[in-house]
Structure 1
């Protein structure tokens, strides 16, 4: 009974650590997600603006699609992707995705920074500027 002060102090310290993630993020949840810029010459020139899959699917699952593409291309030598509408696309990040979405900083990096993710795509795949720089 004489250790009540120590016990209460311990409980307060425990609660401070346990609740830290909650009170350190107060007021940060109201940040609106960024809208990726689709302002590229290739996209502007398209009559029908569509991606390999519907917009919502690409927002939510593009990384899973890219992993499937990687496995299909590298492990199974499959180079053609047939989407949900039956259209065929070449399985290639640089030749398919980056052909339209060439503005990496405005399109990819903006959302990845917001979501605090660091995709490893760019460990192997380069932007056109970086490719020319390495030549």
Structure 2
């Protein structure tokens, strides 16, 4: 009988521990940020397309950037051939941020919402005036 009581207490405490984070977070959900693609660089483009399709970039941009970093740093490659056959320089600063010149709104807002720590800026640092430059 005592064992059954301890088991029920354990199950109750376990359930309480599992439910507390949901109770504390209730009503605190934030809406997803709206990406700001309205930069002068993007507005000036005749054809507004990224190096890969939008769906791929939304889901796999970090995989692509990690691969670029490895290819450039470890193998000395500097050219990326996209799925459409177009060749791009493998460079966060010169390729990605030449269009997405608003990293605070474009990158930071989604990563803050997703609670993802960006380590890009350890090498690609923002200067005091908010301009991206090599760290």
Does TM, normalized by the shorter one, top 0.5? yes
The alignment covers a number of residue pairs equal to: 132
Could you list the structure 1 runs, at least 4 aligned residues long, displaced by more than 6 angstroms after superposition.
none
Higher relative contact order (CA 8 A, sep 6+): 1
How large is the Cα RMSD of the aligned pairs? Answer: 2.4
Q: Which residue of 1 aligns with 2:88?
A: 89
Q: Secondary structure at the match of 1:126?
A: coil
CA distance in 1, matches of 2:77, 2:52: 18
Q: Which runs of 5+ in 1 are unaligned?
A: none
Q: Is the 8 A contact 2:93 2:132 kept in 1?
A: no
Q: CA deviation at 1:13?
A: 0.9
| Mapping for residues 57-96 of structure 1, pairs under 5 Å | 57-96=56-95
Q: Which residue of 1 aligns with 2:99?
A: 100
TM-score by length of 2: 0.84
Alpha-carbon distance change, 2 to 118 in structure 1, aligned in 2, over 3 angstroms = closer
Q: CA deviation at 1:131?
A: 6.1
| Mapping for residues 1-135 of structure 1, pairs under 5 Å | 1-2=1-2, 5-27=5-27, 31-127=30-126, 129=129
Q: Which runs of 5+ in 2 are unaligned?
A: none
Q: Is the 8 A contact 2:81 2:87 kept in 1?
A: yes
